[in-house]
Structure 1
Amino acid sequence: MHALHCPNAQPPLQHLFTMPLTSLLTFLSIFTLFTCSLSSPLPQSTFLSLMKQSLIGPAMSRWDLSSPTINPCNLTGIRCDIDFNLISINISSWSLSGTFPLGVCTAYPNLQTLDLSINDLHGGFPHDILNCSSLQYLNLSYTGLTGSVPHLSPLCSIRSLDLSNNLFTGDFPLSITNLTSLEVVNFNENPGFNIWHLPKSFMQLINIKVLILSTTCLRGEILPWLGNMTSLTDLELSGNFLIGTIPETLGRLPNLRLLELYYNNLTGEIPQELGNLTTLTDIDLSENHLTGRIPENLCALPNLRVLQLYTNHLTGPIPAILGNSTKLSMLSLYKNSLTGSLPENLGRYSDLVVFEVSENQLSGPLPPYVCENGKLLYILVLSNQLTGNIPSSYDACTSLLRIRVSNNQLNGPIPEGIFGLPHVSIMDMSFNQLEGTMSKSIGNARNLTSLYMSDNQLSGELPAEISRLTALVKIDLSNNQFTGPIPSEMGNLRLLNQLSLQNNRFNSSIPESLSSLKSLNVLNISNNELTGEIPDGLCSLLPNSLDFSHNNLTGPVPLPLIKEGLLESVAGNPNLCVAFRLNLTDPVLPLCPKPNLRRRLNNLWIISVCVLASILGALFFLKHWFKKPDLLMEQEGLSSTSSFSYDVTSFHKLSFDQHEIVEALIDKNIVGHGGSGTVYKIELSNGELVAVKKLWTRKTKDRVDPASPGSPGLDRELKTEVETLGSIRHKNIVKLYCCYSSNDSNLLVYEYMPNGNLWDALHNGWCFLDWPTRHRIALGIAQGLAYLHHDLLFPIVHRDIKSSNVLLDADFEPKVADFGIAKVLQARREHELSTTTIAGTYGYLAPEYAYSSKATTKCDVYSFGVVLMELVTGKKPIEPEFGDSRDIVHWISTKICTKEGTLEVLDRRLSWSPYKEEMIQALRVAIRCTCSLPGLRPTMNEVVQLLIEAEPCKSDGNGNGASSFKLKELTNKRV
């Protein structure tokens, strides 16, 4: 029997005699209750009362224990046998928080089932359970338990043990091998265990059917003796550090239905013997280093439903016999070196849902029957050597969500119906030899968010019906032969972020309506035959990427393009001109002839302002140069000999000079301090506001903080931030105007964000953000990160995404900031995109930092998922209510498996909101982003698509959004 351990010792005996009588009686009653609970069976209702007191949550109101004659067997979650002995307690998914009380086994010696899963239990493994000698079913999954797992041998009757998705640490409990009655063992997702090896003693589990040891730090080889555990139906060892080959003996498991070995370091060929597993339904060997061919007999298995072998080094053809399958629903073979033709009959006889063979060397035609049974969601065959036409049968694939056939050698016209598929969100047919016109039926593709048709031979006019696709975010029709006008109706595409129409034959004027596309970040209409003037309104889209070059445009170049130094964006238009020149360094363009009176007055006014500003600036400079006391200069951290000796690196046309910035570095303008310097808010003489980050150099840092001499990281931080931000042009990345460098300090001058940072907005209560605003912020952050990860020549990992590094402009549009520890990844493959320096902020760090110091783009995805959880819940990443060693990710994981629990995590300040379904959709995205396995997290491009699909305007306002996902799918491995 376990002793009762209390952190506060009971009073010494002599103190009992000095206690007040009431205190003494209270103490004795409590002492008697707990002593009896450990020495003799508790009355059943007494223990249930203890449970109700210890586990807090609204669901406990289901238990009315007020009547002394209450029959516990009638309570929700309680089950008794025919003799009224309590044999089962099941409070799974009750959203409870607290500690499971002592005494369950003494109160209920016949207890057979204890299910506490999907609650928030505090502390470690409840040791008192070890006294339950009759216990057969124990489920503590998704409870957030910490610490080590004790010796489990006392549970001699246990048949099913589920401790998955917790935070256990220490040694793996090999004592389970003594529990010979075990049929189900599930330790999935406990990445804190010490490295361990699978011992041969597991063979003692002769009754084992389900063995799930995924993500438990298992290392070593898969030893052949596993083939002797012939009762196995489910073997899952994924997400570990397994090496060596897959043993042939696994082919001896006659009852095996599910085999998952993905995310390991396995080598060698797939054993032919796996083709003997006639009961096998699912096999996933993805993300390993397997070589050789796909065994034909494996593809001929009669019950095979899921075949996933992606990201290996497999060669040879996909066995044609796979086309005869009547059960196959998911085929995922991307990122291998497979050759030959695709099975012609693929999907003809089965309900195919996923068809994913991208990034191989496959040739021949596309299989015509993949949509035959109307269930297909994904056609992903990009980056192969496929030829021939797109089958006409594909225009009947009305269930499709994505079709991506880019980077192949397909030719002929695109079947008309494909353009109008009602559920497709991504249509990618770029880099082929497709021809013909774009059908007007595209107006029916109302869920389309990305349309990629670049580098083909498409011709004809762009149909105006494209303007009906109000969910569109990206359009790339570049390098085709489109003619006619750019439809003015495209101004209705308010979510559009990218419009690339370059290298076509469009021959209209530029529609003024494009100026209303406030989300547009890239507008490239170069190398066409466009005429007329550049609409002034388009300049409101700056600082985004605009390219009007090599057309037949006429008239004056808008002044903002000149001021921003973007004259190269209008090159190759011989009939363009400038109304006046700002300076002699501007590229030579002719002055516009004979301006009308209004334009002449405007020019005169602008020139007058420039002259007046120059005079005032000179006077201001002279005044302060001669009159500013040296003492005041020293108080500002400057010296009279170095105050204006800054080296300047500018990235935009500047409307200020260094003198105006330096003179404003005074105490009253300070708005914040950081570990590397001070931030100032400065109002320029022209009325504009800028933010200046003053970074200490080594010399200054030594003077200010002698305890931290010569921090070399500061120079690297400055260089990183300047190099990173200087070349970036995106509306959701903070704009760096210039950098001033001197011996004393370095100044970074940014655009000023009047609404501060997202952390303060969410957690410090100075403003209220409704859900549409929060969604817009989340989408903007995601678009900025997607730009960094996917739209640059070399991806950039930010490495410190958090809500305090997201700034908000006057319209609460987000800007990602603070790139001091960012890393440019000059590599091609995702697994190579890593750094070796641990960086970031606790609460936002991806869990792989527990066993690896590498930071990849998927680390940014995880951090973004935490920020998204902040937006949905209103909670900080770390809150006292989460418990010790808990964070928001774990807290949410204990709540989301019931509708009630899911609604409970939503920000209570939005309890009145009609957008609850859209908030839950965003929560689903956040959960995917924070998956513990990096490979299962989406890319930021995918996150953008998912958030667009969760756009608040797509709801009817009553919480009836477009999502059809079920809550249980939040924790599924595949989405």
Structure 2
Amino acid sequence: MALFKIILYILSCLSLFILSFQAPLQNQSHFFTLMKTSLSGNSISKWSTLTEGDQYCNYPGIACDNDGYVVEIDLSAWSVLGRIPNDICSYVQKLRVLRLGHNDLRGGFPTGVFNCSFLEELNLSTSNLAGNLPNFSQMKSLRVLDLSNNQFSGEFPISVTNVTSLEVLNFNENSGFSMWQLPYEVTQLKNLRSLFLMTCSLHGQIPPWIGNMTSLVDLELSGNSLDGPIPVELGELRNLQLLELYYNQLTGEIPEELGNLTQMFDLDISVNRLTGKIPVSICELPKLRFLQLYNNSLTGEIPLAIGNSTSLHILSVYENFLMGELPPNIGKFTELVGLDVSENHLSGELPKEVCKNGKLFYFLVLDNQFSGGLPENYAKCESLLRFRVSYNHLSGPIPEGLLGLPHASIIDLSYNLFDGMLPKSIGNARNLSELYIQTNRISGSLPSEISQAANLVKIDLSKNLLSGPIPPEIGNLRKLNLLLLQGNKLVSSIPESLSSLKSLNLLNLSNNLLTGNIPESLCELLPNSLDFSNNRLSGPVPLPLIKEGLAESFSGNPKLCAPVYFNSSIPSLPLCLRPNTRKRLNTIWVIATTVLVVIVGFLLFLKRWYGRERLVIEQNGFSSTSFSYEMTSFRRLSFDQDEIMKALIDKNIVGYGGSGTVYKIELRNGQSFAVKKLWAGKTKDPSSDQLLLDRELKAEVDTLGKIRHKNIVKLYCCFSNWDSNLLVYEYMSNGNLWDMLHRGKVLLDWPTRHTIAVGIAQGLAYLHHDLLPPIIHRDVKSTNILLNADFLPKVADFGIAKVLHSKGKDSTTTAVAGTYGYLAPEYAYSSKATVKCDVYSFGVVLMELITGKRPIEQEFGENRNIIFWVAQKVLTKEGIMEVLDERLSGSFKDEMIQVLRIAIRCTCSVPALRPTMNEVVQLLMDADPCRFDAFKRWDKLKEESSPTMKA
């Protein structure tokens, strides 16, 4: 009986033991119900209702152990929306891996994961999480913690240093933390291999004790406010493979001890305040592939040892004070992908073996003191995408074949001493977009073969010794938007074929020896910038050029004249009169001029008398008249101010901008104009009784009035009054891009959208790069992009634009402006506007064109924008497809994805990593639906090397 009781007791205990395992196993089914209740998304909704067994172990994103327990959940980039349930670990108690990154999880950190006592990996990167972080001390089993690219704030959680099992710690891109310094407690993480703390409010010095963390393989402290010297103790991290300290305020010299890091393959200490020489020991590292030290104050020579490297792929040391010669063997023993030594004081000859292994994409040595000729074998470097040697002392002929490299998109030989003739091999340049050879000694004729380089967008051959005629075949370059040939010895007439260049924005043929008439057909290129001055042209100037206000563009041609039917006068441009009538009419001119002077004097008297009477009338409550406006015109006008003023009535209002009311004015002659009445403000000069524009506004309007670009809305004139300012623009019949994308009845197809994107980019590139001083728009958005009848885009609304009066690329403005959803993050919190702010805003407009969505949509989540939404989607193939505007045909999906990549680059959170607008134009031209396939392979190669390079 006693034995039976013992057996019964053992069996009951065994049953309870078995049930204790079965209960959690059965409870796992509740986890999936809970997850589907708390989270939403197409992928997670596919989980079916559980019935029996371990069916859930076969679900996507789920992994179980041999006993059927869930040990891994990986829902990365599943487009999951919602909050992580707090009791998630109550049903999956043996969970070891939880990956929920690149979703929209909202809320704060899910503290329920603390109950997962076996959890080894937690990845919540790029998940829209915010708020303060809790104490992590209890997560004793955790080996990988990735909370990067979120919006956590408050104090940095020093408690993670108590999780001594950690091997990977990643807090990159959490800029909301309060400023903090690396605590000594970090050294408790004896197993830590990867420490990523980029852009997370670190400040102070890098502590020397970091040299004790000898298990480190990756150390990234970039984008912070670290200062002081780089500690020599970093040289004790013998396992280190990646060291990134760029975008800080580090000072002093680069420690020679970094040469002890024999496992190092990526070293980036760019954009700091480092001085001294580049240590030879670093250049001798046996595995070093990427060495980036640009934008510092380094001196001395580039060590010869770097030329013997067998592993180097990227050397980027631009914007320093380096001198001496480039190592002659650089590129000889390795597959060099990128070399950028621009903006230094380097001299001597260029290295001959730099492209020996045929992988070189970027060769950038501009703004140095290099001399000698270009090595002939450069013309065989078929991998080249960009070749820039401008602002040096290079001489000799251009090697035959260099201009015809099959994949080169930019070739820049400007501001050197090159001579000889332009090689006819230019005709082989199938992908060349920009050709700059200005200010050299190139002679001979402009070869007609240049017309075969069909993708050329910009040509600058100005200030050379070119002679002969302009080949008429140049009219075949239908994508050309800039053609500068001024300052040569070109003869013969201006070819009519130039009128075929419908994309041309800037044509300068000045200071040559051109003869004959200005072709009437060139008027089709208006309103672009045209300059024919200082030639030997003759005959009548086409009337549209005169009406456009381009008198300066044909000065210096004594034999040019105004058509006889032109009813006005232009200084230095006489009427085209027959010789036998000129003498008779001179007498008439004298009499007419005398009468005119008398009339003008009388009118001025009346105006002054009327001004006194008007003041009395206003004081008695009567309205002012049009005579109270002062006019500043920028083009020949076909209207008078009375006609404009009378039309400023409510029924003509077509919209309201951030700076005023917009009217559509239809004149008696059938023309339509847009008039913006700026909001009232103080415009009276305190030092004078004269009614004038505010000085700042006047300077700005004067600058904008001189712009001649087909993608910038045309400003005709400005009227200034004591209480308002009126800007008269050309009228754009298709309204703005916002309405067309989000409210329009017309669905724009992808080729049209791509053309619009290119036009906007060209307009902004003109503002940033082709004007002196350059202009920052500061409010680039789809409502400020106007479309004409042919959907040609024009950048508009410069009400808050600023001219960069100070010299250099770091010029900024500090007045807060812009529109939510388009604002660059650094501008939003620092109020410092740069050209990169415009690039960011343009990237948002690109995303609108690609997705068809507004910058702010409810589906993006609370306080979330299109950039966050796109970032989540692009991590999976299905997600990328969901980004593309579903209303468009799928036939252009590859082209749209290529442009999406450009948009992502433009909206990078680090301003320096955004491309320039010149680069954007080039990238968009590469993504042209007509030429896209040719670039797919090269884009792949560029992504594989992914250098951080100067334009």
Normalised to the residue count of structure 1, the TM-score between the two structures is: 0.87
Is the 2:549–2:634 Cα contact (8 Å) retained in structure 1?
A: no
What are the equivalent positions in structure 2 for 1:662-673 lying under 5 Å apart? 662-673=645-656
Q: Flag structure 2 segments of 5+ consecutive residues without an equivalent.
A: 1-22, 580-609, 685-692
CA distance in 1, matches of 2:321, 2:203: 28
What are the equivalent positions in structure 2 for 1:69-108 lying under 5 Å apart? 69-108=53-92
Q: Does residue 636 of structure 2 align to residue 653 of structure 1?
A: yes
CA distance in 2, matches of 1:148, 1:947: 41
**Residues 886-906 of structure 1: per-residue CA shift (max 9 Å, x gap):** 111111111111221111111
Structure 2 counterpart of 1:951: 928
Q: Does residue 869 of structure 2 align to residue 895 of structure 1?
A: no
CA displacement at 1:453 relative to structure 2: 0.6
What are the equivalent positions in structure 2 for 1:393-404 lying under 5 Å apart? 393-404=377-388
Is the 1:786–1:944 Cα contact (8 Å) retained in structure 2?
A: yes
Structure 2 counterpart of 1:565: 549
Structure 1 counterpart of 2:591: none
CA distance in 2, matches of 1:589, 1:155: 85
CA distance in 2, matches of 1:968, 1:906: 23
CA distance in 2, matches of 1:810, 1:547: 27
Structure 2 counterpart of 1:859: 837
**Residues 507-526 of structure 1: per-residue CA shift (max 9 Å, x gap):** 23211111011111110111
CA displacement at 1:533 relative to structure 2: 1.6
What are the equivalent positions in structure 2 for 1:453-492 lying under 5 Å apart? 453-492=437-476
CA displacement at 1:105 relative to structure 2: 1.4
CA distance in 2, matches of 1:194, 1:297: 37
Structure 1 counterpart of 2:898: 921
Structure 2 counterpart of 1:872: 850
Q: Does residue 412 of structure 2 align to residue 428 of structure 1?
A: yes
Structure 2 counterpart of 1:29: none
Of 783, 791, 796, which aligns to 2:762?
Answer: 783
CA distance in 1, matches of 2:185, 2:695: 53
Is the 2:314–2:947 Cα contact (8 Å) retained in structure 1?
A: no
CA displacement at 1:555 relative to structure 2: 2.1
CA displacement at 1:969 relative to structure 2: 5.3
Structure 2 counterpart of 1:803: 782
Q: Does residue 228 of structure 2 align to residue 244 of structure 1?
A: yes
Identity across the alignment (%): 63
Q: Does residue 395 of structure 2 align to residue 417 of structure 1?
A: no
Is the 1:864–1:929 Cα contact (8 Å) retained in structure 2?
A: yes
CA distance in 2, matches of 1:550, 1:366: 38
CA displacement at 1:756 relative to structure 2: 1.1
Q: Does residue 435 of structure 2 align to residue 451 of structure 1?
A: yes
Is the 1:396–1:417 Cα contact (8 Å) retained in structure 2?
A: yes
C-alpha change, 1:263 and 1:395, in structure 2 (3 Å) is: same
CA distance in 2, matches of 1:971, 1:325: 17
CA displacement at 1:95 relative to structure 2: 2.7
Which 10-residue stretch deviates more, 122-131 or 406-415? 122-131
Of 505, 518, 522, which aligns to 2:502?
Answer: 518
CA distance in 1, matches of 2:49, 2:356: 58
CA displacement at 1:676 relative to structure 2: 4.3
Q: Does residue 818 of structure 2 align to residue 844 of structure 1?
A: no
Is the 1:720–1:821 Cα contact (8 Å) retained in structure 2?
A: no
Equivalent position amino acid for 1:962 in 2: K
Q: Tell me the SS of whatever aligns to 1:514.
A: helix
Structure 2 counterpart of 1:27: none
Structure 2 counterpart of 1:937: 914
Q: Tell me the SS of whatever aligns to 1:687.
A: coil
Structure 2 counterpart of 1:358: 342
Which 10-residue stretch deviates more, 527-536 or 180-189? 527-536
**Residues 311-336 of structure 1: per-residue CA shift (max 9 Å, x gap):** 00001100011100000000000000
Of 751, 756, 763, which aligns to 1:772?
Answer: 751
Of 110, 121, 125, which aligns to 1:137?
Answer: 121
Equivalent position amino acid for 2:893 in 1: K
Which 10-residue stretch deviates more, 416-425 or 756-765? 756-765
Q: Tell me the SS of whatever aligns to 2:545.
A: helix
Structure 2 counterpart of 1:328: 312
**Residues 364-397 of structure 1: per-residue CA shift (max 9 Å, x gap):** 0000111011110000000000001101111111
**Residues 934-958 of structure 1: per-residue CA shift (max 9 Å, x gap):** 11111111111111111122247xx
For this pair of structures, how many residues does the alignment match?
Answer: 886
CA distance in 1, matches of 2:62, 2:695: 62
What are the equivalent positions in structure 2 for 1:577-726 lying under 5 Å apart? 577-580=561-564, 582=566, 585-592=569-576, 639-674=622-657, 676-698=659-681, 715=694, 718-719=697-698, 721-726=700-705
Structure 2 counterpart of 1:170: 154
**Residues 796-844 of structure 1: per-residue CA shift (max 9 Å, x gap):** 111111111111111111111111221211223323x112222211111
C-alpha change, 1:415 and 1:84, in structure 2 (3 Å) is: same
CA displacement at 1:164 relative to structure 2: 1.1
Q: Tell me the SS of whatever aligns to 2:145.
A: strand
Is the 1:936–1:973 Cα contact (8 Å) retained in structure 2?
A: no
Which 10-residue stretch deviates more, 564-573 or 660-669? 564-573
Structure 1 counterpart of 2:239: 255
Is the 2:926–2:932 Cα contact (8 Å) retained in structure 1?
A: no
**Residues 214-237 of structure 1: per-residue CA shift (max 9 Å, x gap):** 011111111111111111111000
Structure 2 counterpart of 1:7: none
**Residues 293-319 of structure 1: per-residue CA shift (max 9 Å, x gap):** 101111111111111000000011000
Is the 1:73–1:86 Cα contact (8 Å) retained in structure 2?
A: yes
**Residues 774-815 of structure 1: per-residue CA shift (max 9 Å, x gap):** 111111111111111111111211111111111111111111
Of 933, 936, 946, which aligns to 1:962?
Answer: 936
C-alpha change, 1:874 and 1:584, in structure 2 (3 Å) is: closer
CA displacement at 1:550 relative to structure 2: 2.1
Equivalent position amino acid for 2:874 in 1: I
Is the 2:194–2:219 Cα contact (8 Å) retained in structure 1?
A: yes
Structure 1 counterpart of 2:559: 575
CA displacement at 1:568 relative to structure 2: 2.3
Structure 2 counterpart of 1:751: 730
CA displacement at 1:460 relative to structure 2: 1.9
Structure 2 counterpart of 1:535: 519
Structure 1 counterpart of 2:812: 834
**Residues 48-79 of structure 1: per-residue CA shift (max 9 Å, x gap):** 23324443333336534454345222222222
Structure 2 counterpart of 1:293: 277
Is the 2:332–2:354 Cα contact (8 Å) retained in structure 1?
A: yes
Structure 2 counterpart of 1:505: 489
CA distance in 2, matches of 1:821, 1:844: 15
CA displacement at 1:878 relative to structure 2: 1.0
Structure 1 counterpart of 2:181: 197
Equivalent position amino acid for 2:859 in 1: E
Is the 2:926–2:935 Cα contact (8 Å) retained in structure 1?
A: no
CA displacement at 1:441 relative to structure 2: 1.6
Of 771, 774, 794, which aligns to 1:815?
Answer: 794
RMSD of aligned residue pairs (Cα, Å): 2.6
CA distance in 1, matches of 2:46, 2:447: 60
**Residues 696-736 of structure 1: per-residue CA shift (max 9 Å, x gap):** 434899xxxxxxxxxxxx95784465234222221111111
C-alpha change, 1:966 and 1:879, in structure 2 (3 Å) is: farther
CA distance in 2, matches of 1:435, 1:64: 74
CA distance in 1, matches of 2:922, 2:630: 43
Is the 2:25–2:68 Cα contact (8 Å) retained in structure 1?
A: no
CA distance in 2, matches of 1:946, 1:898: 23
CA distance in 2, matches of 1:967, 1:447: 16
Structure 2 counterpart of 1:599: none
**Residues 520-579 of structure 1: per-residue CA shift (max 9 Å, x gap):** 111011122222221111112122111112222222211112222323212222332322
CA displacement at 1:648 relative to structure 2: 0.8
What are the equivalent positions in structure 2 for 1:329-344 lying under 5 Å apart? 329-344=313-328
**Residues 842-893 of structure 1: per-residue CA shift (max 9 Å, x gap):** 1111111354221111111111111111111111111111111211111111
Equivalent position amino acid for 2:468 in 1: G
CA distance in 1, matches of 2:329, 2:943: 31
Equivalent position amino acid for 1:803 in 2: S
Is the 2:528–2:710 Cα contact (8 Å) retained in structure 1?
A: yes
Structure 2 counterpart of 1:15: none
